[in-house]
Chains A and B, each alone.
Chain A
Amino acid sequence: MSHRQLLPRDVPVQLINADGKADSDDVYLAASPTALTDGYRSLVVSRRINDQCYALVRQGRLAVYPSSYGQEACQVAAVSVLDDGDWLFPTYRDSVSLMLRGIAPADALTLLRGDWHCGYNPHEFRVAPQSTPLATQLIHAVGFAHAAVLKGEPTVVMALCGDGATSEGDFHEAMNFAAVFHLPVVFFVQNNRFAISVPFSKQSAAESLAHKAAGYGMPGEQVDGNDLAALLAVLGIAVDRARSGGGPTLVEAHTYRMQAHTNADDDTRYRDSGEVQAWAARDPLVRLRKYLRGKNALDDAEETAFAAEADEIATTLRDALNTDVQPDAGELFRHVYATSTPQLDEQWASLQGELERSEDGAKS
């Protein structure tokens, strides 16, 4: 394939515009209204989880929460296009995608609560641990896909990252490896315009990250990241290509982080509210709702049911995080090696001694 055929469109793929109107497209087709209604349900649940988590941070129940408010369509689409046997390699901002993949909300939030680094068994849900170093997980995704090919398994791997991660060396190494070995990986960049406080213009001089794909020898595409229909179509084709032996794809979603990076930063210091408001007008939930209402594919009863379901998940989450669980100090030593070492045994015995003396009141 010539590198021109690998190039993305100059304008991001959009199937439903901000007014909820459908755009026709000769390559990408919007999913059926029924499928999109199901996607809308996931968006409502995801938005509610983001809101609830934001509140839990303020209440001191989560140590930190990197919100994906405004990016929910990306989260929903990334998970929706995967089969059960496929794998997801998420980042710290992708907590909602973990829950959409079936991980109990409280288990998905163990990392951000600070109870443990990863609160679920990756093999059970086919979800790798959330990566906080940038871009490192992209290479793991590539290795995972390579092993799948060597073993003759039809697994597709969805690797998520943000725009900041594309500046890291590991992003380059992952793209290059995947293309050289022609591996079934979909690299999905959620370009939300900021790496903490650094705007995209200072992150990359490239207009489009998706155009980088051609340089590696893989197809790239850019898509409106607030348009669930477009995301499902573009990611769906990339997954199909990967599964049928067509190799990797780089997809860049243009979206926006509506809230601060985490509770620890003040986004008024690095962007003006006008920009945020402009993006609010492109909200993924609002536009899909308008579209579905216009198609009579969504009624009041369904909206009420979706809201109730979201409330129920939020309540479960709140209850789980309001429960004080005493962490088990033995966990610190138990998992470092498959078989413990004499040094760790000694150190654990020493800590146990400290704890016992503490309980006896001899140690304050």
Chain B
Amino acid sequence: MTMLQENSAKVDTGVETMSMAAALNRALADELAADDCVVVFGEDVGALGGVFRVTDGLTGQFGEKRCFDTPVAESGIVGTAVGMAMNGLRPIVEMQFDAFAYPAFEQVVSHVAKMGNRTRGAVRLPIVIRIPYAGGIGGVEHHCDSSEAYYAHTPGLTVVAPSTPQDAYSLLREAIRFPDPVVFLEPKKLYWAKGPVDTSSTAEIGKARVIREGTDATLVAYGTSVPIALEAADAAAAEGRSLQVVDLRTLSPYDDATIDAAVRSTGRAVVIAEAPGFASMASEIAARISERCFSWLEAPVRRVTGFDIPFAPPRLEHFYLPDVDRVLDAVDSLNWDS
């Protein structure tokens, strides 16, 4: 029995409790079983099962033609995925760490993102690029980065960042079946967080979701910042303030409709993301809310983000990462006397 299988425990409802890593592993296995065109490859995804064990057991179960190790070459991994997708396969590639994915950036931006457009839709690339992203795990330099803005800024890419095992499972399955390339950002520090997973449940790429109702202000979060938003909402509730939480789930395309409705219902908004705030996803969200919801707003939209510095070393990480106190400070600044 593998580590991941131990992590999942059957319960009577048909819903299993498992870690996000196990949920991702299950999604990969279910899609490998469902479609012969699906292949998984990258560095250490075979015998080792991936450095985060997300591909654990897949080579044993499906064989080396379906899940295989490659040379250590990120551009080569993504570039071969382009050729494979052109030839009818549905490649899923693993970039080992966010900051190790940059050698593949040219392939992602110049080819993965553009092939459908440059061929007028004649060649679509149903590729999933899985990237463990963001910090909070005490990783040393180049093992933690928040690179989502680079991908979200690139037309032609669809960028997904789940925050729960259920969404990780459902969105990864959806991403594998998606006709276009998907950059699938897996929040490293949530790999081991457990939650219920209903394998019959589906999720739609491109849809955000209100995950906690509230009336006084809206917290917009994704990936690693979602648990912080929920914790902040709990803390605020104890002080008598009702905070709504929206989980973006898909960064691009962006779900204006859900965010607009949520923010208009409360009149106040705080965006939480751990990437540096300058020219970031958080900046884009704040700008869109300001443009589209200005008449409903009681206060300027606030951003709670990482500082504009290279990602912090492990022992200083806690100074860098947005936390509940920072979120609550931002909420307190939302012009409550008006």
Contact surface of A with B, Cβ cutoff 8 Å: 116-118, 121-124, 128-129, 133, 136, 138-148, 150-151, 155, 169-170, 173-174, 176-177, 180, 331, 334-339, 341-343
Determine the distance from Cα of A143 to Cα of B76 in the docked complex, in whole angstroms: 9
How far apart are A92's CB and chain B's nearest CB, in angstroms?
Answer: 13
Q: Which residues of B contact A123 (CB under 8 A)?
A: 122-123
Contact with A along B250-263 (1 / 0, CB 8 A): 00011011000000
Asked if B88 is at the interface (CB within 8 A of a chain A CB), the reply is yes
Given known contacts A176-B76, A338-B124, A122 and B65 CB-to-CB distance under 8 angstroms: no
**Residue B110 CB within 8 A of the other chain:** yes
Stretch at the interface among B111-119, B161-169, B312-320, B326-334: B111-119
Cβ A341 vs Cβ B107 within 8 A: no
Residues on the A chain within 8 Å of B240, using CB: none
Cα distance, A337 to B118, chains bound together (Å): 11
9 A-B contact pairs sorted by A residue (CB < 8 Å): A117-B119, A139-B107, A140-B111, A143-B87, A170-B75, A173-B73, A331-B120, A336-B116, A338-B179
B76 and A174 form a contact (CB under 8 A): yes
- State which of B83, B119, B179 has its C-beta within 8 Å of the C-beta of A147: B83
| Cα A117 to Cα B253 with chains together (Å) | 23
Residue of A121, A150, A342 ringed by the most chain B CB atoms within 10 A: A150
Q: Which of A141, A155, A173 contacts B75 (CB 8 A)?
A: A173
Q: Are A147 and B88 in contact (CB under 8 A)?
A: yes
**Complex Cα gap A335–B119 (Å):** 8
A336 touches B79 (CB 8 A): no
Q: By the criterion CB–CB under 8 Å, are B119 and A121 in contact?
A: yes
Measured in the bound complex, the distance between the Cα atoms of B87 and A139 in whole Å is 13
- Bound-state Cα–Cα, A103 to B65, Å: 34
Shortest beta-carbon distance from A95 to chain B in Å: 16
Alpha-carbon distance between A141 and B81 when the two chains are bound, in angstroms: 10
Tell me whether B83 and A337 are in contact (CB under 8 A): no
User: Which of B89, B111, B117, B254 meets A136, CB within 8 Å?
Assistant: B111
B30 contacts which chain A residues (CB < 8 A)?
A: none
Q: Which A residues lie within 8 Å of B215 (CB)?
A: none
Do residues B86 and A118 form an inter-chain contact, with CB atoms below 8 A? Answer: no
Q: A128 contacts which of B84, B86, B88, B89 (Cβ < 8 Å)?
A: B86
Contacting pair B80 A177 (CB below 8 A): yes
**Is the pair A136, B118 in contact by a Cβ cutoff of 8 Å?**
no
| Distance between Cα atoms of A155 and B87 in the complex (Å) | 10
Contact A335 B117 (CB under 8 A): yes
Inter-chain residue pair count (beta carbon < 8 A): 137
Interface size on B, residues (CB 8 A): 45
> Are A337 and B86 interface neighbours, CB within 8 A?
no
B-side residues, CB < 8 A to A, are: 39, 65, 70-71, 73, 75-76, 79-89, 91, 103, 106-107, 110-111, 114-124, 155-156, 158, 179-180, 206, 253-254, 256-257
Q: Which residues of chain A are near B158, meaning CB under 8 Å?
A: 337
Chain B, Cβ-Cβ closest to A170: B75
Q: Which of B65, B71, B79, B253 contacts A170 (CB 8 A)?
A: B79
Is the contact region of chain A dominated by helix, strand, or loop, or is it mixed? Answer: helix
Residue of A nearest to B69 (CB): A180
Chain B residues in 8 Å Cβ range of A343: 253-254, 256
Among residues of A, the one whose C-beta sits closest to the C-beta of B39 is: A150
A161 to B73 Cα, complex, angstroms: 20
CB contacts (< 8 Å) of A129 on chain B: these are 115, 118-119, 123
Contact A337 B76 (CB under 8 A): no
**Interface contact B75-A139, CB-CB below 8 Å:** yes
Q: Which of B80, B115, B254 has the most CB of A within 10 A?
A: B80
Indicate if the CB atoms of A338 and B121 lie closer than 8 Å: yes
CA A144 to CA B83, docked complex, whole Å: 4
Residue among B87, B155, B257 making CB contact with A336, cutoff 8 Å? B155
Query: Which residue on chain A has the smallest CB distance to residue B82?
Result: A140
A146–B83 CB distance below 8 A: yes
**Which residues of chain A are near B257, meaning CB under 8 Å?**
342
Contact across chains for A145 and B83 when beta carbons are under 8 A apart: yes
Q: Inside 8 A of A140's CB, which chain B residues have their CB?
A: 79-80, 82-83, 86, 111
Contacts A336-B116, A338-B124 given; indicate if A174 touches B87 (C-beta within 8 A): no
**Which residue of chain A has the shortest Cβ distance to B114 in the bound complex?**
A117
Contact A176 B111 (CB under 8 A): no
* Chain A nearest Cβ from B94, distance in angstroms: 15
